[in-house]
Amino acid sequence: MKVVAQRSKAAKVTVEGEVTGSIDSGLVLLVGITHEDTLADVRWMADKVAGLRIFEDESEKMNLSVTDVGGSILSVSQFTLYGDSRKGRRPNFMAAARPDQAETLYNAFNDALRELGLRVETGRFGAMMDVQLTNDGPVTLILESGA
């Protein structure tokens, strides 16, 4: 499982002109699932995201998590995170999970974040989406389960 986490001041995702999810302060997560991922990966990643200390404390040190600051999550499925572009000019997406498996694990990931007390907004799985965000910092991290 691969997640690109971006600290954000505001973000929204739009599908066919309709806003499907929006947050104020929090994290935008681009979520990729590979065919080897399991529910254990989902739980590990949810715990990692919820506890990741990338928000500044009163001393301006990255010492607080999204949970600590009362932030929200905007979670967007992103199979292209598993695109392999080492050969040729067109990415190979063979490492991405099949849509049925990916959607199940993506939904389980969002549910796990909610169970940890976070407000989670989403895009629409499998849809063409427009994602807008104000990246705060900018702070962007790539997280991988099993790594």
Active site residues: 78-80
CA triplet 22, 144, 69: central angle to 5 degrees?
40
Token pair for 102: 């990916």
- Residue 41 CB coordination number (10 Å): 20
Token pair for 62: 């990255």
- Residue 144 CB coordination number (10 Å): 14
Cα–Cα distances in angstroms (integers) from residue 13 to residues 38, 76, 111, in the given order: 26, 8, 19
Residues 6+ apart with CB under 8 A from 21: 12, 13, 74, 75, 121, 122, 123
